[in-house]
Amino acid sequence: MITIENLSKRFVLHNQGSAVIPVMEGAALHVAPGQCVGLIGSSGAGKSTLMRMIWGNYLAASGSIRVGHVDVAKAAPREIIALRRDTLGYVSQFLRVVPRVPSVEVVAEPLLQLGVDRDAALDRARTMLHRLNLPERLWSLSPTTFSGGEQQRVNIARGFIHAYPALLLDEPTASLDATNREVVLSLIEEAKARGAAIVGIFHDEAARERVCDRLIDVAAFAPKAAA
């Protein structure tokens, strides 16, 4: 479902003496439906960079990133827009939302984008928020003022509300208590069971142990020549 071949990435900082910073070389990865692959490596090794390249907000210098039938490294914007709507979900560590929009609508939005009936989408959103133990009095409020853990749960509810065939999870269990961590791990297991291909970053070793089928150390993709 997700296949990465010979992927490289560099940053060119035009306003800092045009410094060219190679950050990745020869990255390769394959995730079959129903599998979860964990990215490991020390801080700054390129875990998030690799994940952003799959999502398409970082450009690849060379190589290919196939998600389903789309090569994200070469696809036109509208193909990536369609991929993100139908196929590829992303739970990032940050929640970027229009201020003043109620949490329940933030969560329902991916379904509305897919054309799901508004009432049905909001119902599903309520079910997700309920499952993630977000107090009902918060559902009608904007998540911008929520605590880290509450925002994270809104983010997770939004990322799991549609049965994406491919999922990117960046620290999904960070800042959650034991109960909610357990809910998230179950959501991941259910996604795998229905055939989702997942790439995740987990600092939580026990979580990694439980849901990941394989681990990939991104340090192996560090550029050799430039070091």
Which residues of this protein are in contact with another protein, per CB under 8 A? Answer: 11-15, 52, 56-59, 77-78, 80-82, 86-87, 96-101, 112-116, 163, 165
CB of 220 to another protein, least distance (A): 23
Task: Please answer whether residues 36 and 86 qualify as being in contact, where contact means their C-beta atoms are separated by less than 8 angstroms.
Answer: no
Residue 111: CB atoms within 10 Å: 20
Q: Which one, 124 or 208, has the nearer CB to another protein?
A: 124
Q: How far apart are CA 149 and CA 160, in angstroms?
A: 16
CB of 111 to another protein, least distance (A): 9
Q: Which one, 87 or 173, has the nearer CB to another protein?
A: 87
Q: How far apart are CA 11 and CA 119, in angstroms?
A: 44
CB of 46 to another protein, least distance (A): 14
**138 three-class SS:** helix
Sheet containing 2-13: give its strands across. 19-31, 2-13, 62-67, 70-71
Q: Which one, 83 or 188, has the nearer CB to another protein?
A: 83
Q: Which one, 115 or 135, has the nearer CB to another protein?
A: 115
49 secondary structure, DSSP code? H
CB of 170 to another protein, least distance (A): 14
Q: Which amino acid is at 70?
A: V
